[in-house]
Amino acid sequence: MAKKKLPPEVLEYFRKQGAKGGKIGGSAGGKKAAASMTAEERAARAKKASAAAVAARKAMRRANRPT
């Protein structure tokens, strides 16, 4: 099956987007989510993230402990 060629203007658009680092429109992630949450929801999410970070650090310490 033969490959279809894209029009030159489309190829140029993709090249420009690739030069931006591959993220069209940029990263919104957490900022976008936090904007739609109440203060209590943001606090709960931060508390959960903090607990997960502590658990990960403890697990790393246990894994690296000499036996």
pLDDT band at 5 (very low <50, low <70, confident <90, very high): confident
H-assigned helices in 3-38: 8-19, 29-35
pTM over 0.75: no
What distances in angstroms separate CA 2 from CA 5, 8, 10, one per listed residue? 9, 18, 19
Percentage of the chain exceeding pLDDT 90: 42
pLDDT reading at 23 higher than 70 = no
Q: Which residues contact 47 (CB under 8 A, 6 or more apart)?
A: none
Rg (CA), the chain: 22
Q: Is the dihedral of CA 9, 13, 14, 18 positive or negative?
A: positive
- Ranking 16-20, 34-38, 51-55, 59-63 by mean pLDDT, the lowest is 16-20
Q: Which sequence spans correspond to the domains of the chain?
A: 38-67
